[in-house]
Amino acid sequence: MDWGKLKFFLGEVTRNFSRNTGMQMTAIGTVAITIVLLGMFLFVRAALADVGASLLAKIEISAYLSPDATPAQIHAIGRFLAQDPRVESAQFIPKRQGLAELRERTKGTIDTALLTENPLPDKYRIKVRATEQVPSVAAEVRRLTGVANVVYGQQVVQRLLQLGAVLRRIGIVVIAIFFAVAGIIIANTIRLTVFARRREIAIMQLVGATNTYIRLPFICEGLLDGCIGAALAVGLLAVARATLWPRLLEALPWAQLTATPLDARVLAAELLAVGAAIGIVASWIAVGRHLRT
Amino acid sequence: MIALRGVSLVYPNGVRALDDINLEIAKGEFVFLVGHSGTGKSSLLRLLYREARSTAGEIVVDGIRVDRLRRNRIAALRRHLGVVFQDFKLLVDKTVWENVAFAMQVTGAHTRDIMRQAPRVLDLVGLSHKSRMYPTELSGGEQQRTAIARALVNNPKILLCDEPTGNLDPANTTEITALLQRINLKGTTVVVATHNQAVVDRMRRRVVRLDDGRITTDEERGYYYLGLGQTQVLSG
């Protein structure tokens, strides 16, 4: 190991980094904000996905049969459902059982003893494997002979799917904008350093330093900006998770949020990697432009 | 060592800096490029270290086809060359020693080699005793000697000098000329672009004269002005 070489290289990086303190702080701050947003987005998305999953898991299709459906028709419907790969399970609920279940569910609120006859039709209770397929399975079942009506949480399913998609799109756009801003600020910071050191760079090129060698201290400067920004962001997110998240869980018990929707250590590592990547890419572009001219 | 065949250089703005240049420089030669300002002396040197790229012709420097060189091979070419300029191009925040060592450090040299080579070239240019001083504390001649030491520290086979005495008084000019001669005697091929008549006339070395981007004369032991020595017109 040539310590002299390492010392020279580290000296170059330190000198670069300490040259424009103000710009360096701006770059680090922007990276931190970007990474905080990204972290929050990933966390909230995971939490929402949990809520969504628990709600969607409960969604089932009730296919009510017409009162004059023949046993053969009921059987055919059962066979159709059993063969459909999208269907996880299909259970035939005769109307007597339906009433018993209704009595059980409404116990203490509605007096079903007043009923003189069973008003419920027979039905199939269908669970579908993927939530997105609920509407299409429901539509097909409705067309079968002997089926009078099909009911499922149409609006809940569609709203949840829509909400998830919209949130994801907004999140991606906002984060993309912040990424671009962070990248541009880092690139400009590096460009200032490059400008301040243009004589040295010219001499390096003259004496035969490779572009990779010239580029390296600047890439390290960008990497430092990215990593310090990301580390700050991870720290902020960790504090927020330790203090705000438990309160949110307490405040919204109905939302059925999971206490830890994401592995904190994995998320921290991913965010640090993202910060480092912004720094490297931005500085690579910034120096590359200078070296080409 | 250096060969240019049918070389032309037209800048993007349409200015024809060099036109059909044919020139051979042998290993260990000392060559002056003379001519008025703007006749293409600097442009010719810039082609040799690939700061500019020829628009036509073939350029070979130490076995490397410079006109065809890919961008990522330019660094390798420049390690064969030392380049010295009129304005020295020293880093003012580095000492003489650091300026010289810098040229080795940035090419990835081992510290052990730097510690051996830097004192050697500083001794050659006579600046060992001023190695801790900054360029602003040196005379013009000393600054140019520092620049020459930096150009030599990587042991180049060719030293290219663009008006090396342009900013110097006569005493310092003499000093630098003597130094270049010493370097040449050690086997380095030296090419000097200059319009300093005194230097050219005193040294009586090969003189290539450029006029309007073309070589008009090439004299074995020439003077600055044509007609004082043997004349041989190569082209134009």
Q: What tokens appear for B67 in the block?
A: 């006109």
Query: DSSP string of chain A?
Result: --HHHHHHHHHHHHHHHTT-HHHHHHHHHHHHHHHHHHHHHHHHHHHHHHHHHHHHHT--EEEEEPTT--HHHHHHHHHHHHH-TTEEEEEEE-HHHHHHHHHHHTTTTS-GGG-SS--PPPEEEEEESSGGGHHHHHHHHHTSTTEEEEE--HHHHHHHHHHHHHHHHHHHHHHHHHHHHHHHHHHHHHHHHHHHTHHHHHHHHHHT--HHHHHHHHHHHHHHHHHHHHHHHHHHHHHHHHHHHHHHHHH-GGGT--S-SS-HHHHHHHHHHHHHHHHHHHHHHHHHHHHH-
If one counts every other C-beta atom within 10 angstroms of the C-beta of residue A155, the result is: 8
- Averaged pLDDT score across all residues of chain A: 84
Do B73 and B190 fall into the same domain?
A: yes
Do B76 and B160 fall into the same domain?
A: yes
- Residue A23 has what pLDDT? 84
Do B140 and B181 fall into the same domain?
A: no
Do B214 and B189 fall into the same domain?
A: yes
How far is Cα B82 from Cα A81, in angstroms, rounded to an integer?
A: 84
Q: Do B79 and A204 touch (CB under 8 A)?
A: no
Is A111 or A194 the better-scoring residue by pLDDT? Answer: A194
**pLDDT of A8-32, one tens digit each?**
888 888 888 887 788 888 889 988 9
**pLDDT of A131-156, one tens digit each?**
778 888 888 888 888 888 888 876 66
**Residue keyed to tokens 């509605």:** A110
DSSP code for B7: E
Question: Which sign, positive or negative, has the C-alpha torsion B187, B89, A11, B81?
Answer: negative
- Terminus-to-terminus CA distance in chain B, angstroms? 24
The CATH number given to whatever domain includes residue B215 is 3.40.50.300
Burial of A37 (0-12, 13-18, 19+ CB in 10 A): middle
**pLDDT of A273-293, one tens digit each?**
999 999 999 999 988 878 865
Do B49 and B165 fall into the same domain?
A: yes
Answer whether A39's CB lies under 8 Å from A234's CB. Answer: yes
Residue of B89, B105, B112 to mutate, testing the A interface (most A Cβ within 10 Å of its Cβ): B105
Domain assignment present for residue B85? The answer is no
Minimal CA–CA distance to B57: which of B21, B33, B30?
B21
Do B15 and B76 fall into the same domain?
A: yes
**Residue keyed to tokens 């996880």:** A88
Do B143 and B215 fall into the same domain?
A: no
Residues of B in contact with A3 (CB under 8 A): 111
Residues of B in contact with A202 (CB under 8 A): 89
> What ipTM score was computed for the predicted complex, to two decimals?
0.85
Answer whether B221's CB lies under 8 Å from B205's CB. Answer: yes
Do B171 and B75 fall into the same domain?
A: yes
Do B163 and B116 fall into the same domain?
A: no
Q: Which of B104, B134, B155 is the last residue of a domain?
A: B155
- How many residues are present in chain B? 236
How far is Cα B159 from Cα A33, in angstroms, rounded to an integer?
A: 52
- By Cβ distance, the residue of B76, B106, B111 closest to A207 is B106
Do B126 and B217 fall into the same domain?
A: no
Answer whether B60's CB lies under 8 Å from B82's CB. Answer: no
How does residue B94 score in pLDDT terms, banded at 50, 70 and 90?
A: very high
Do B1 and B55 fall into the same domain?
A: yes
Q: Compute the nearest-CA separation of B103 from chain A (Å).
A: 6
Is A29 or B227 the better-scoring residue by pLDDT? Answer: A29
Do B47 and B122 fall into the same domain?
A: no
Answer whether B34's CB lies under 8 Å from B209's CB. Answer: yes
Minimal CA–CA distance to B193: which of B52, B71, B83?
B83
Lowest-pLDDT range, A66-80, A101-115, B180-194?
Answer: A101-115
Residue A260 backbone dihedrals phi, psi, to 5 degrees: -130, 90
Q: Do B107 and A207 touch (CB under 8 A)?
A: yes
Helix (H) or strand (E) holding B31: strand B30-34
Angle, CA of A110, A111 and A116, to the nearest 5° = 125
Residues of A in contact with B72 (CB under 8 A): 210-211
Residue B75 pLDDT > 50: yes
Lowest-pLDDT range, A47-51, A74-78, B34-38?
Answer: A47-51
Q: Do B154 and A2 touch (CB under 8 A)?
A: no
Residue-range definition of the domain harbouring residue B112:
90-155
How far is Cα B189 from Cα A269, in angstroms, rounded to an integer?
A: 56
Residue A259 backbone dihedrals phi, psi, to 5 degrees: -65, -40
Domains of chain A: 3-55+164-292 (no CATH), 60-152 (3.30.70.3040)
Residue B235 pLDDT > 60: no
How does residue B69 score in pLDDT terms, banded at 50, 70 and 90?
A: very high
Q: Which of B122, B155, B188 is the last residue of a domain?
A: B155
Q: Which of B125, B140, B155 is the last residue of a domain?
A: B155
Chain A residue with Cα closest to B74: A208
SS3 B173: helix
Domain assignment present for residue B142? The answer is yes
Count of the separate structural domains present in chain B: 2
